[in-house]
């Protein structure tokens, strides 16, 4: 149903869109017109995603390095991460994304376990290296790190100046790999290489695939063996997913790349199924693993209790074992008791309230499920750095124009592995699945699941956000830290969906409960009623006195 049909107080959505656009100089307007779309779920319009950021528009997007180190490879806790460059990049990516690992434990006088994520290593380049080259310093830094930590593997990340001065980090990695006898992976992820962090995801996928996946052929021990791709353990999400999979008896061989060990990644090509959480950041890996090793993949979502249940059922159905299918139902039934009880508590607070989400390359979609379970209405959503397929679905993939920026990123030519390729599904089984409507390589995108006449906004600007808040007065906005305080200054609670503020997990069943409670707490907090001083309140027509109703409560 169209949004204005359910809520007559709202202005026509085209008007809202025009309000957002009319301020821009004509060139900027033409670009933004393609990125602000009035949604039609039945036939999503083409959106201008993954295009260059307009200089001077204050974007929420990050850089290639951020996508590579910060998102995809950074969470691997037992490899040593070394940033080659001046100090800022390493410093700002040091534990600032909450991909959790267990804290170092010194309780018995000696450190237990390995967690290198508390360390931020950088070559801290100075003028000398910019002028004369930084390879020597990099080499010395690798050797020093080896002497000190003796890691299983190291990853080296290039920052902007590295590519410009021509340091051959790959040659350094090769030399040091030979010398030290450990795996050393170098990534050319200079910040300027792509239009956003998305370029960094692709570069990271390529390297993890060529330099880590497939190094250890040991057969997994579980009865059902899967990988979870695109799950980064923000706020402990991966731990909750592990808990559920332990309950149903499915063995997770590897996660890319939250709460995972290097050894698990090297061995993850032995799994029988890849399920994909964050389509944007990891779909490359799923495709390459299917081509090379014959592992099929499909999209799942563990954000939302119903979505988790649906995803578990699909995985069980894939394996087709009655025992597993039954066990999954038992676990869902048991877990849903608490979920339902919490929903009953929060719905009176959340039901019917409006919400908007601007985050990530998948999260703005996934979190709609959680808000939906609380009966909140999504009025607008958009990604920061996603591509057209994340909005419109994978069916548009053949029609996406490859521009110069995307061409800069290597597209690996993958062949089936002559020895290890093993099609997990026979042609006959595939046909059966197809007949039953069981989809592989599937992602329908966000737009098909959003209501008609909602606004889809790619890479939203502050100005557009301001108009959106004015018009829709959402009860809560899901976004990131760069918007958070603007939204909250205007009296609307903002939940960070990149890093979860201090909270989490929000995945799985227990995560859903956490999220419901968190949103209810935020929306019903008394602080919002003080945002506008009594003498600044608009006079209420009913009784002529000023109203101090909280913004959120007024909806």
Partner 1 sequence: MSEVDAASIHGAVRPEGNNHCPFTRGASPHATQNACKMCTPLGAALAFAGVEGCLSILHGSQGCATYIRRYLISHFREPMDIASSSFSEEDAIFGGGRNLKIGLDNVCAAYHPLLVGVATTCLAETIGEDVPQILREYRESRDNETIPQIVHVSTASYSGDHWDGFHKTVRALVEQLAFEPVGVATETPSINLFGGMLSCEDLRYLKRSCEEVGIKAHLIPDYSETLDGGSWSAYRRIPDGGTPSASIVGSSASMASITLGALSSIHPESAGAFLHRRFAVPHLSMPLPMGIEDTDRFLSQLAFLARGDVRPWHPDTSVLFLNPETESERSRLIDSYVDGHKYVAGKRVAVFADPDLLAGLGAFLSETGLVPVLLATGSKVANTGPLVRRIASSDGSVPVLLTGVDHALIADRCRELRPDLIIGNSKGYPIARELGVPLVRCGMPIHDRIGAQRVLHLGYSGAQRLYDQIVNTLLEHRQDGSETGFSYL
Active-site residue 63, yes or no? Answer: yes
CA distance linking residue 232 with residue 395, whole number of Å = 26
∠ CA 145-282-175, rounded to 5°: 30
- 443 neighbors 229 (Cβ within 8 angstroms): no
Q: List beta partners, residue 496.
A: 479
For residue 159, give both structure tokens: 């920052």
Residue placing its CB nearer to partner 1 in the complex, 23 or 334 = 23
Residue placing its CB nearer to partner 1 in the complex, 117 or 331 = 117
State phi, psi for 186 to the nearest 5 degrees: -110, 140
DSSP state at residue 538: P
CA distance linking residue 486 with residue 468, whole number of Å = 13
- Select the residue interacting with partner 1 from 61, 170, 327, 429 (CB under 8 A): 61
Exposure string over 199-219, b if 16+ CB within 10 A, otherwise e: bbbbbbbbbbbebbbbeeeee
- Select the residue interacting with partner 1 from 86, 445, 505, 550 (CB under 8 A): 86
Active-site residue 363, yes or no? Answer: no
- Select the residue interacting with partner 1 from 15, 18, 46, 144 (CB under 8 A): 144
| Residues 235-254 close enough to bind partner 1 by CB under 8 A | none
Active-site residue 68, yes or no? Answer: no
Minimum CB distance to partner 1, residue 108 (Å): 11
Question: By CB under 8 A, is residue 336 in contact with partner 1?
Answer: no
Residue placing its CB nearer to partner 1 in the complex, 22 or 219 = 22
Contact flags string 18-57 toward partner 1, x per CB under 8 A:
-----xxx--x-----------------------xxxxxx
Residue placing its CB nearer to partner 1 in the complex, 29 or 340 = 29
For residue 63, give both structure tokens: 């850089």
Minimum CB distance to partner 1, residue 285 (Å): 23
Got the DSSP string for 150-201? --SEEEEEE-HHHHHHT--HHHHHHHHHHHH-SEEEEE---GGGSSSHHHHH
Question: By CB under 8 A, is residue 165 in contact with partner 1?
Answer: yes
- Select the residue interacting with partner 1 from 30, 179, 431, 489 (CB under 8 A): 489
Question: By CB under 8 A, is residue 539 in contact with partner 1?
Answer: no
Question: By CB under 8 A, is residue 85 in contact with partner 1?
Answer: yes
Q: State the catalytic residue, choosing from 97, 175, 327, 463.
A: 97
> CB neighbours (10 Å) of residue 111?
11
| Residues 446-485 close enough to bind partner 1 by CB under 8 A | 461-463, 466, 469-470, 480-482, 484-485
Minimum CB distance to partner 1, residue 335 (Å): 32
Options 124-132, 305-313, 388-396, 431-439: segment touching partner 1 (CB under 8 A): 124-132
DSSP run (H or E) holding 208:
helix 197-211
| Residues 361-420 close enough to bind partner 1 by CB under 8 A | 404-405, 408
Residue placing its CB nearer to partner 1 in the complex, 130 or 439 = 130
Q: State the catalytic residue, choosing from 17, 49, 66, 160.
A: 66
Residue placing its CB nearer to partner 1 in the complex, 114 or 370 = 114
Q: List beta partners, residue 82.
A: 121, 156
Residue placing its CB nearer to partner 1 in the complex, 17 or 269 = 17
Q: List beta partners, residue 186.
A: 156
Question: By CB under 8 A, is residue 65 in contact with partner 1?
Answer: yes
Question: By CB under 8 A, is residue 164 in contact with partner 1?
Answer: yes
| Residues 261-280 close enough to bind partner 1 by CB under 8 A | none
Question: By CB under 8 A, is residue 129 in contact with partner 1?
Answer: yes
- 415 neighbors 291 (Cβ within 8 angstroms): yes
CA distance linking residue 431 with residue 151, whole number of Å = 46
Residue placing its CB nearer to partner 1 in the complex, 95 or 337 = 95
DSSP run (H or E) holding 391:
helix 388-392
- 446 neighbors 37 (Cβ within 8 angstroms): no
CA 325 to each of CA 228, 307, 311, 353: distance values in angstroms, whole numbers, following the listed order:
19, 16, 12, 36
- Select the residue interacting with partner 1 from 36, 49, 66, 268 (CB under 8 A): 66
Active-site residue 279, yes or no? Answer: no
> Which residues are marked as active site?
63, 66, 97, 201
């Amino acid at each position: 149903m169209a949004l204005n049909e359910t809520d007559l107080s709202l202005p026509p959505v085209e008007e809202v869109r025009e309000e957002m656009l009319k301020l821009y100089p004509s060139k900027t307007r033409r670009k933004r017109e393609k990125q602000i779309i009035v949604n039609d779920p039945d036939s999503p319009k083409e959106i201008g995603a993954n295009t260059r950021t307009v200089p001077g528009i204050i974007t929420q997007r990050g850089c290639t390095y951020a996508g590579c180190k910060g998102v995809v490879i950074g969470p691997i806790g037992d490899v040593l991460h070394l940033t080659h460059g001046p100090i800022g990049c390493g410093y700002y990516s040091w534990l600032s994304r909450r991909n959790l690992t267990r804290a170092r434990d010194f309780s018995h006088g000696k450190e237990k376990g390995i967690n290198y994520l508390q360390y931020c290593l950088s070559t801290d380049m100075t003028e000398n290296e910019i002028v004369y080259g930084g390879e020597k310093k990099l080499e010395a830094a690798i050797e020093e790190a080896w002497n000190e930590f003796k890691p299983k593997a190291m990853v080296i990340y290039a920052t902007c100046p590295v590519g410009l001065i021509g340091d051959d980090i790959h040659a350094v990695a090769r030399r040091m790999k030979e010398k030290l006898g450990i795996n050393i992976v170098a990534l050319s992820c200079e910040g300027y290489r792509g239009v956003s962090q998305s370029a960094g995801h692709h570069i990271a996928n390529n390297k993890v695939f060529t330099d880590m996946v497939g190094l250890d052929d040991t057969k997994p021990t579980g009865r059902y063996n899967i990988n979870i791709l695109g799950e980064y353990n923000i706020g402990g999400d991966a731990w909750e997913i592990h808990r559920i999979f332990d309950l149903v008896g499915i063995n997770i061989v590897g996660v890319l790349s939250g709460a995972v060990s290097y050894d698990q990644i090297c061995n993850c090509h032995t799994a029988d199924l890849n399920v994909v959480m964050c389509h944007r950041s990891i779909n490359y890996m799923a495709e390459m693993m299917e081509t090379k090793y014959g592992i099929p993949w499909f999209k799942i979502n563990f954000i939302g209790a119903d979505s988790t249940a649906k995803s578990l059922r699909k995985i069980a159905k894939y394996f087709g074992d009655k025992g597993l299918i039954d066990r999954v139902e038992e676990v869902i039934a048991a877990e849903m008791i608490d979920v339902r009880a919490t929903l009953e508590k929060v719905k009176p607070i959340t039901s019917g309230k409006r919400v908007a989400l601007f985050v990530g390359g998948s999260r703005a979609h996934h979190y709609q499920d959680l808000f939906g379970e609380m009966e909140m209405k999504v009025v607008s959503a958009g990604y920061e750095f996603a591509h057209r397929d994340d909005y419109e679905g994978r069916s548009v993939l053949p029609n996406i124009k490859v521009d110069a920026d995307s061409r800069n990123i290597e597209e690996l030519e993958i062949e089936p592995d002559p020895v290890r390729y093993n099609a997990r599904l026979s042609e006959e089984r595939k046909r059966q699945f197809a007949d039953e409507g069981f989809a592989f390589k599937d992602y329908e995108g966000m737009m098909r699941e959003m209501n008609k006449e909602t606004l889809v906004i790619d890479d939203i600007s502050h100005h557009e956000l301001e108009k959106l808040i004015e018009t829709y007065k959402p009860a809560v906005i899901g976004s990131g830290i760069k918007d958070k305080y603007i939204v909250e200054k205007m009296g609307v609670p903002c939940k960070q969906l990149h890093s979860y503020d201090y909270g989490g997990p929000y995945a799985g069943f227990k995560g859903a409960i956490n999220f419901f409670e968190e949103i209810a707490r935020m929306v019903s907090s008394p602080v919002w009623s003080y945002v506008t001083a009594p003498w600044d309140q608009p006079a209420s027509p009913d009784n002529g006195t000023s109203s101090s109703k909280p913004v959120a409560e007024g909806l």
